[in-house]
Structures are given as structure tokens and as C-alpha cells.
Amino acid sequence: MRAANLPREVKLESDVLASLLLQKRNAFKFEKEVRLLWFDQETHQKKAVYIDINPAKKISQIMTSPYAAQSEHLEIKAFAEAAGIKAIQSGILNFPRTK
């Protein structure tokens, strides 16, 4: 059933919503990426998993959604750069450059 067809009273669990956002289309299978979703403590219903890593050694780049507001991108960029990670906003929706 498509989400648009769900009755208004249906509330999806955060893990169900997360799994929908983490779907990878076959056309982008070549991308070697890890997707991260952050849920605020109030939203998280299950025990959190903490991964002890040095992010700058494991993450080469963070790319924000082309649909993210500029303010959201800048907030993520500041957070990433504080950890020594380059952050850029996807330009996939930009018009191609012409000569």
C-alpha cells in the first residue's frame, strides 16, 4: 500500500520510516555510501547503537540532499567540518554547465 493511500490514523514506527529512507535504487548501486539517520532521543524507541570510530579516518565526504534547505546544509557542513570531514550539497538538480 502506498503511503498516500494510508488512513490518517496510521502512524508508522520510526524504524519503518527509516527503512523506507534507506532504500537504494539499483541505478546508484555503484556509489559506495553509508546513509545515516539521526533520531532525537524523544523519537527513538529502541536502544541506540554507539559506534566508537574516528569519523575523519572513515568518512571521506558527507553529501547533503539537493532538497535540503541552505540553512540545513550549512548546519551539517559546520558539524562535519568540526570533525575534519568535507561536506558538500548534491548538485544533481542543478542545470548542466554550457560552454
| Model confidence pLDDT, tens digit, residues 37-57 | 665 555 555 666 666 778 788
Three-state SS at 88: strand
Please name the residue that has the C-alpha cell 529502541.
Answer: 46
Per-residue pLDDT of 57-68, as tens digits, reads 888 888 898 999
* Domain map (residue ranges) of the chain: 8-89
Tell me what pLDDT residue 52 has: 75
- pLDDT of 77 higher than 90: yes
Distance of CA 91 to the CA centre of its chain: 15
Strand-pair partners of 86:
61
pLDDT number for residue 53: 75
pLDDT at 8 > cutoff 90 = no
pTM of the model: 0.56
